[in-house]
Amino acid sequence: MKHMMMNPVLNKEFMLRFRSPKSFLGLLFYLLAIALIIVGFIFIQSMTSLQGFFKPNQSRELFMIMSFMQLALILFITPGLTAGVISSERERQTLNILLTTTQSSTSIIMSKLVSSVSYLLLLIIASLPLYSIVFLYGGISPGQVLQNLALYMFTIIVYGAVGVLLSTLIRKTIVSIVTAYGVTLFLAGGTAFITLILTSYIQGIPGNTPAVNPAPYFAAMLNPPIILFSLMQPDYMEEFSRMTGIEFPLWGSFLISYIILFFAAIVWSIKKLRPNMK
């Protein structure tokens, strides 16, 4: 395992990504933007409040805004970071040289994945101290923050694996990036739209007893924003469970389905990296 992870490929990728001043400037501006949003939200809410202070329920609203902002950042940046890691090597004609080294296909794929998502993980972890501002006003617990952090990391790794797979299968970097954004848009937006349509259809069915249909559940369990909302607002999900007739937690189905997606993407990437070699 140590040989597979700590290897020249991974060391080179880390040096290229973290020795550039642009990486740290991007981290600085990201934290400044988050801090300005937090301070601005608190200031506006305090000015518009009749009592002139910031309430705990408003602190929870701020926490939800920050959570969805960071999830949107993950879904927007991850395809761009991972969907060109193999195809760019192929376009620079350095992939064949890389394949002639002693590094295994598993080592190369995992190194590319870890190096690609490491910067995004750094952004998420670096923003954790800003949550202390929200803690000052109450309304949330440290467990909720850690829960969201675990969801972010898991989503980053899975979507990163999908991006690496597309970069392995598609020769052109621009095509693989566009395809990765299309897959992300479907999983994050398309499944939400399908869930909304199916939910509206079930609620619009006339009858004395509420209709039960599991179809919205299977669309919602693939959607990270819906999973995040279900973790922060469990009361709303109880009604969703009654409507679908499935009592199994939505986050549990999300975890199982995305673990399967992750391993399928990694195994397929490893096999397609050297398609003509056993």
> Using CA atoms, how far apart are residues 39 and 170, in angstroms rounded to an integer?
44
**Any idea which residue has 């004609």 for tokens?**
93
pLDDT value at position 41?
Answer: 76
For residue 248, give Cα distances in angstroms to 199, 228, 265. Answer: 18, 16, 26
Return the percent helix, strand and coil in the chain, to nearest 5: 80, 0, 20
| Pair 227, 254: CB distance under 8 Å | yes
> Using CA atoms, how far apart are residues 4 and 10, in angstroms rounded to an integer?
9
Can you say whether the dihedral through the CA atoms of 127, 132, 137, 140 is positive or negative? positive
Contacts (Cβ under 8 Å, ≥6 apart) of 157: 113, 117, 262
Which domain range does residue 192 map to? 2-273
CA nearest to 13, candidates 226, 164, 184: 164
Where are the alpha helices (H) located in 170-248, listed in sequence order? 173-185, 191-203, 215-220, 224-232, 234-244
State both tokens at 53: 């202070």
pLDDT value at position 45?
Answer: 72
pLDDT value at position 162?
Answer: 93
Residue 7 backbone dihedrals phi, psi, to 5 degrees: -140, 170
pLDDT value at position 230?
Answer: 87
pLDDT value at position 88?
Answer: 84
Q: Is residue 230 part of a domain?
A: yes
Where are the alpha helices (H) located in 6-141, listed in sequence order? 8-18, 21-48, 56-82, 87-91, 95-99, 105-126, 131-135
Contacts (Cβ under 8 Å, ≥6 apart) of 210: 242, 243
Can you say whether the dihedral through the CA atoms of 44, 49, 53, 57 is positive or negative? negative
Q: Is residue 278 part of a domain?
A: no
pLDDT value at position 202?
Answer: 75
What pTM was estimated for this model as a whole? 0.86
pLDDT value at position 276?
Answer: 60
- Blockwise average pLDDT, block size 10, the chain, 278 residues: 57 70 80 82 72 66 84 88 85 80 82 84 83 70 84 92 91 90 92 88 62 82 91 80 84 93 92 70
How many structural domains does the chain have? 1
Q: Is residue 37 part of a domain?
A: yes
pLDDT value at position 232?
Answer: 84
Q: Is residue 23 part of a domain?
A: yes
pLDDT value at position 73?
Answer: 85
pLDDT tens digits, 163-175:
999 999 888 889 9
| Pair 162, 74: CB distance under 8 Å | no
The amino acid that residue 182 corresponds to is G
Q: Is residue 140 part of a domain?
A: yes
> Using CA atoms, how far apart are residues 19 and 39, in angstroms rounded to an integer?
31
Q: Is residue 182 part of a domain?
A: yes
Taking CA 74 as the corner, what is the angle to CA 71 and CA 80, rounded to the nearest 5 degrees? 155
Taking CA 62 as the corner, what is the angle to CA 59 and CA 63, rounded to the nearest 5 degrees? 90
